[in-house]
């Protein structure tokens, strides 16, 4: 068998048609190139004015000697950061915030998942599930101010919670939930959990309803019981949603201000002081805008770490 | 894509850009103190008073002014107290305060030091205004920065029914009588306590109204020559007295996070027998609990004290922005509010006491308790040493935190006062 030598065929150069530029080398009118930016410009301008400029200003303030209240503040480098990071009140606020957001997020997740599973079950009738759905979502419909007032009333030493506990014989006398340093942080965390779990519940319910029934059927054919189906089918399917929700919740909860401020004001004895209330007090009570800015930048950096994980998670999902 | 659709998109894009630029430009332009083509000046007046008065009453007073001064218009910026404070703090910082501002005495020092509010002494001289008619002026280095327009005093509120039930015949007039009455009221049961002490640190004015008021009622002072003197025997006696009330179990539980409104709520519901509170709340209590049998009295003084009793007060104060171009017009408006007739009218509808010495509030249509409180006010003297102090709210908060340590048994009174003294000294000097 002989082999034929085949000369490679070189295609003759093809000249672009007259009046039509080669692909990738299109000569576009410069004015036309600006059109996309013109469309983007409202967003860019708004982002600059509402986000970039304030952030840059706050960062700038944090490096100066008490800005705003002084006519000619001078650069002091990292002095404000040193002052904030060595302030015992800030460290207490940091610890409280860590406890508050971690407990809140875990509780939101557990409660939200539990209620979502209940609303997704085939064991309850449609009407029952509809009623439960309305009841469970109610906390989400209240504004933070209303939630703070409701829970202040409920947790009052002479309030409903103590009345119920006393009636059941669980406590001898009314517990001072918000006024007692040993219970205040748990009380505000509980109120935050109550107000925030419906968002998890709704999101996880939507995710649960998106899981293909085929997976459960296949697992059942393989002999998997309810627990194994939950561990090997449900949880892996919910994983991306759970991670995204948890990271978002950590970010949102770290910025919780109104609930704490209205329920305890950071007290008693700083036991519910959060980074948000600490920063507010620095600015609007002590008029120390530079240290308030430094504290705000520290919170921003901590939040950016969480945001980084959130974005990375989102990219992985794609 | 059709040419028509392309044109439409371009048009929408162009309009959006133009609208955004216009909006941004509008954000940067202030309309404070505008002068119209016909020479009419519009003054912005930021305050929380309008929100606390019966609907429309404050507008009538403003309309009377504009009718008398057709070349000046007043634009009211009314918001709740807390919002007003935040807006003014940021406005003072950015030199964009409205032309005329409602002020609390606790803010004056900080605003004046920033150069945000004007020296009104000069404006008074320029306008040939007679300051002797003013009941008080809030000054710093001899210059007036705030004029109290209406004053609200904080007498003792007593639930007469609870007092009778407890077997106490007379309203307590001394500290020991108060402790005794509080003990007896607390002993009546049903979770009723003798006194309410709001020590919430979010708004720590309980230190001013409910704690230092005991000191002032006995002629005491927390300052000496303008400097803090918290370790004095008088202040120590006051804190020890509050501690004794706490130790006796006569204070309503939850005081460490109790707010002023909780205190009023508990008194209205008959859960506490006595409280120190603003006269401004009389109408609120009467509205919510028309059957509550209560009266107002002077604050109890130390046993044996015979001098005049200081009675805490809060003011609706007024000041003028240092950056306004229309200081003369602004002062014209201030002098109108401080005039005998207008000030009497304003204090009557506000259920407060006038800032003009010659103004007499009309109590004919008011609850008799206002007349009683006015008599107490005239027998004593208005006392509020936090007015004019720098970072006044912060001073209250640091004292509050030390007092909370005392009440929870974590610190002695002496240590608390020493630490408060140190903390205050770093602010006041």
Distance to chain B for A229, nearest Cα, Å: 48
Instruction: State whether B110 and A69 contact (CB < 8 Å).
Output: yes
Interatomic CA distance for residues A51 and B250, integer angstroms: 52
Q: How far is A306 from chain B (nearest CA, A)?
A: 29
Q: Tokens representing B274?
A: 């006595």
The rounded distance, in Å, linking the Cα atoms of B403 and B230 is: 12
B-chain residues within 8 Å CB-CB of A39?
9, 13, 16
d(CA B64, CA B59) in angstroms, rounded, equals: 9
Look at residue A4 in the predicted model and tell me its pLDDT. 43
Query: Which chain B residues contact residue A35 at CB under 8 A?
Result: 10, 13
Q: How confident is the model at residue B280 (pLDDT cuts 50, 70, 90)?
A: confident
Among B24, B253, B394, the residue with its CB nearest the CB of A285 is B394
In the prediction, which pLDDT does A27 show? 65
pLDDT at position B375, please? 85
Contact between B138 and B101 under an 8 Å Cβ cutoff? The reply is no
pLDDT confidence of residue A264: 94
Tell me, what's the pLDDT at B30? Answer: 41
- With a CB-CB cutoff of 8 Å, which residues 67-86 of chain B face chain A? 85-86
Residue B305, judged by CB atoms within 10 A of its CB (0-12, 13-18, 19+), counts as middle
* B369, burial (CB in 10 Å: exposed 0-12, middle 13-18, buried 19+): buried
Question: Hey, are the CB atoms on B257 and A68 less than 8 Å from each other?
Answer: no
CB A264 within 8 A of CB B257: yes
Model confidence band, residue B90 (pLDDT cutoffs 50, 70, 90): confident
Strand-pair category, B381-383 with B310-320:
parallel
**How many CA atoms does the CB half-sphere of B160 hold within 13 Å?**
7
Q: What is the pLDDT of residue A209?
A: 93
**Residue B297, helix vs strand vs coil:** strand
Which whole number is the average pLDDT over B401-414?
96
B205, B252, B256: best mutation site toward chain A, by most A Cβ within 10 Å?
A: B256
Q: Chain B: give the shortest CA distance to residue A226, in Å.
A: 47
* Segment A142-186, tens digit of pLDDT: 999 999 999 999 999 888 999 999 999 998 888 999 999 999 999
pTM: 0.80
> What distance, in Å, lies between the first and last C-alpha atoms of chain B?
74
Suggest the residue from A38, A40, A51, A69 to mutate for an interface test with chain B (most B CBs closer than 10 A). Answer: A69
| Three-state secondary structure call for residue A16 | coil
B401: nearest CB among A178, A262, A269 = A269
3-state secondary structure string, A80-127?
HHHHHHCCHHHHHHHHHHHHHHHHHHHHHHHHHHHHHHHHHCCCCCHH
Task: Count CA within 13 A, CB hemisphere, residue A222.
Answer: 12
State residue A81's pLDDT score: 97
- Find the residue in B nearest to A177 (Cα): B254
Please provide the average confidence, as pLDDT, over all residues in chain A: 88
- Provide the pLDDT for residue A26: 58
Asked if the model's pLDDT at residue A5 lies above 60, the reply is: no
Return the number of CB contacts < 8 Å for A and B.
105
Among the residue ranges A11-15, A30-34, A119-123, the one predicted with the least confidence is A11-15
At B374, is the pLDDT very low, low, confident or very high (cuts 50, 70, 90)?
A: confident
Percentage of chain A lying above the pLDDT 90 cut: 68
Q: Are the C-beta atoms of A204 and A110 separated by less than 8 Å?
A: no
Instruction: Tell whether B261 is within 8 A of chain A (Cβ).
Output: no
Q: CB–CB of B324/B330 below 8 Å?
A: yes
Picking from A31, A70, A157, A281 by the largest number of B CB atoms within 10 A of its own CB, the best residue to mutate is A157
Percent helix, strand, coil in chain B, to 5, is 50, 20, 35
* Residue-range domains of chain A with CATH: 90-317 (1.10.3720.10)
- The answer to whether A49 contacts B89, with C-beta atoms less than 8 Å apart, is no
Chain A contact set for B13 (CB, 8 A): 35, 38-39
Q: How far is CA A92 from the centre of its chain?
A: 22
Q: For position A74, what pLDDT does the model report?
A: 87
For residue B257, what is the DSSP state?
G
Please state, in angstroms and as integers, the Cα–Cα distance from residue A179 to each residue in A37, B204, B423, following that order: 56, 15, 24
Distance from CA of B364 to the nearest CA of A (A): 37
pLDDT value at position B42? 94
Residues B182 and A281: their CA atoms lie apart, in Å, by: 35
The pLDDT of residue B352 is above 90: no
The better pLDDT of the pair B397, A73 is held by B397
- Give per-residue pLDDT as tens, A217-258: 999 999 999 899 999 999 999 999 999 999 999 999 998 999
What sign results for the dihedral spanned by CA atoms B388, B389, B391, B395? negative
- Residue B340: how many other CB atoms lie within 10 Å: 14
- How far is the C-alpha of A266 from the C-alpha of A273, rounded, in Å? 4
Facing residue for A42 by CB, picked from B20, B89, B255: B20
Closest-CA distance of chain B to residue A38, Å: 7
CA distance B118 to B111: 9
Are residues A179 and B13, on separate chains, in Cβ contact within 8 Å?
no
Looking at per-residue pLDDT, the higher value among B29 and B92 belongs to B92
- Cβ distance A49 to B202 less than 8 Å, yes or no, reads no
Whether residue B237 has a cis bond before it, omega within 30° of 0: no
Q: How distant is the Cα of B112 from the closest Cα of chain A, in angstroms?
A: 10
Confidence category of residue B89, pLDDT binned at 50, 70, 90? confident
pLDDT, one tens digit per residue, over B179-210 is: 999 999 999 988 899 999 999 998 899 999 99
Contacts of A64 in chain B (CB under 8 A): none
Q: Which residue of A has its CA nearest to B392?
A: A285
Per-residue pLDDT tens over the stretch A17-28 = 544 555 555 566
Delineate the domains of chain B, giving CATH numbers in brackets: 35-152+314-368 (3.40.190.10), 156-297+390-426 (3.40.190.10)
Nearest by CB: B201 against A176, A180, A267: A267
Q: Could B13 and A38 be called an inter-chain contact, meaning their C-beta atoms sit closer than 8 Å? A: yes
- Cβ neighbours of A42 in B, within 8 Å: 16-17, 19-20
Q: Rounded distance, CA B240 to CA B236, Å?
A: 6
Average of per-residue pLDDT across B329-354: 93
Q: Inform me whether the C-beta atom of residue B408 falls under 8 Å from chain A C-beta atoms.
A: yes
Q: What is the predicted ipTM?
A: 0.77
A-proximal residues of B, 15-54, CB under 8 Å:
16-17, 19-21, 24, 27
* B354 bridge partner residues: B150
Could you say which of B17, B113, B405 has the minimum Cβ distance to residue A269? B405
CB contact under 8 A, A269 and B408: yes
CA A272 to chain B, closest CA, distance in angstroms equals 11
Q: Which two tokens stand for residue B402?
A: 């030390």
In angstroms, the Cα distances linking B2 to A35, B7, B8, B174 are: 17, 9, 10, 90
**Exposure string for A244-279, b = 16+ CB within 10 A, e = fewer:** ebbbbbbbbbbebeebbbbbbbbbbbbbbbbbbbbb
The mean per-residue pLDDT over the stretch A46-56 comes to 92
């Amino acid at each position: 068998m002989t082999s034929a030598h085949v000369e490679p065929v070189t295609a003759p150069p093809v000249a672009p048609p007259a009046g039509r530029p080669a692909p990738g080398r299109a000569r576009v009118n410069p004015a036309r190139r600006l059109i996309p930016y013109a469309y983007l410009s409202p967003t860019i301008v708004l982002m600059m004015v509402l986000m970039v400029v304030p952030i840059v200003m706050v960062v700038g303030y944090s490096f100066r000697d008490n800005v705003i209240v002084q006519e000619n503040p001078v650069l002091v480098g990292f002095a404000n950061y040193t002052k904030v990071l060595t302030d015992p009140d800030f460290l207490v606020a940091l610890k409280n915030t860590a406890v508050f957001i971690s407990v809140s997020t875990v509780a939101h997740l557990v409660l939200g998942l539990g209620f979502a599973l209940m609303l997704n079950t085939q064991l309850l009738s449609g009407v029952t599930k509809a009623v439960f759905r309305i009841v469970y979502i109610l906390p989400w419909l209240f504004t933070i101010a209303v939630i703070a007032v409701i829970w202040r009333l409920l947790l009052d030493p002479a309030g409903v919670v103590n009345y119920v506990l006393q009636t059941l014989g669980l406590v001898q006398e009314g517990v001072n939930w918000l006024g007692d340093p040993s219970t205040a942080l748990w009380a505000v965390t509980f109120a935050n959990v109550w107000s925030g779990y419906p968002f998890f519940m709704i999101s996880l319910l939507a995710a649960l309803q998106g899981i293909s029934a085929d997976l459960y059927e296949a697992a059942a054919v393989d002999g998997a019981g309810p627990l194994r189906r939950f561990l090997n089918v449900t949880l892996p399917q919910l994983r991306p949603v759970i991670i995204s929700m948890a990271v978002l919740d950590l970010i949102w909860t770290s910025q919780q201000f109104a609930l704490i401020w209205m329920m305890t004001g950071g007290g008693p004895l700083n036991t519910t002081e959060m980074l948000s209330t600490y920063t507010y007090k620095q600015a609007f009570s002590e008029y120390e805008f530079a240290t308030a800015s430094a504290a705000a930048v520290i919170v921003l950096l901590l939040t950016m770490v969480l945001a980084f994980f959130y974005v990375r998670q989102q990219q992985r999902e794609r | 894509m059709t040419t028509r659709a392309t044109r439409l998109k371009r048009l929408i894009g162009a309009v959006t850009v133009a609208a955004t630029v216009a909006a941004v430009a509008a954000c940067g332009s202030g309309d404070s103190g505008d002068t119209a083509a016909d020479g009419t000046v519009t003054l912005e007046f930021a305050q929380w008073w309008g929100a606390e008065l019966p609907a429309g009453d404050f507008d009538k007073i403003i309309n009377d002014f504009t009718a008398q001064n057709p070349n000046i218009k007043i634009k009211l910026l009314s918001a709740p107290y807390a919002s007003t404070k935040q807006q003014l703090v940021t406005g003072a910082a950015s030199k964009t305060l409205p032309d005329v501002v409602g002020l609390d005495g606790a803010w004056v020092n900080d605003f004046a030091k920033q150069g945000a509010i004007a020296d009104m002494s000069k404006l008074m001289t320029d306008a040939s205004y007679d300051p002797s008619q003013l009941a008080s002026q809030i000054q710093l280095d001899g210059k007036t920065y705030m004029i109290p327009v209406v004053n609200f005093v904080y007498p003792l509120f007593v639930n007469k029914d609870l007092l009778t039930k407890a077997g106490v015949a007379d309203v307590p007039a001394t500290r020991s009588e108060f402790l005794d009455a509080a003990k007896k009221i607390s002993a009546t049961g049903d979770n009723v306590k003798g006194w309410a002490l709001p020590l919430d640190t979010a708004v720590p004015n309980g230190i001013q109204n409910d704690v230092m008021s005991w000191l002032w009622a006995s002629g005491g002072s927390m300052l000496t020559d303008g400097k803090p003197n918290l370790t004095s025997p008088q202040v120590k006696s006051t804190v020890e007295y509050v501690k004794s009330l706490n130790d006796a179990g006569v204070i309503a539980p939850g005081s460490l996070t109790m707010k002023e409104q909780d205190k009023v709520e508990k008194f209205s519901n008959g859960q506490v027998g006595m409280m120190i509170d603003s006269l401004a709340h009389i109408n609120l209590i009467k509205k919510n609990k028309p059957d509550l049998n209560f009266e107002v009295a002077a604050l109890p003084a130390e046993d044996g004290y015979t001098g005049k009793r200081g009675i805490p007060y809060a003011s609706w104060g007024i000041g003028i922005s240092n950056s306004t171009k229309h200081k003369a017009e602004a002062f014209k408006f201030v002098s109108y509010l401080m005039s005998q007739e207008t000030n009497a009218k304003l204090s009557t509808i506000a259920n407060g006491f006038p800032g003009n010495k010659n103004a007499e509030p009309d109590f004919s249509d008011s609850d008799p308790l206002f007349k009683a409180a006015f008599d107490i006010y005239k027998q004593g003297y208005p006392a509020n040493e936090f007015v004019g102090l720098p970072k006044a709210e912060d001073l209250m908060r640091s004292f509050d935190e030390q007092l909370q340590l005392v009440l929870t048994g974590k610190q002695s009174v002496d240590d608390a006062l020493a630490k408060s003294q140190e903390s205050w000294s770093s602010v006041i000097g």
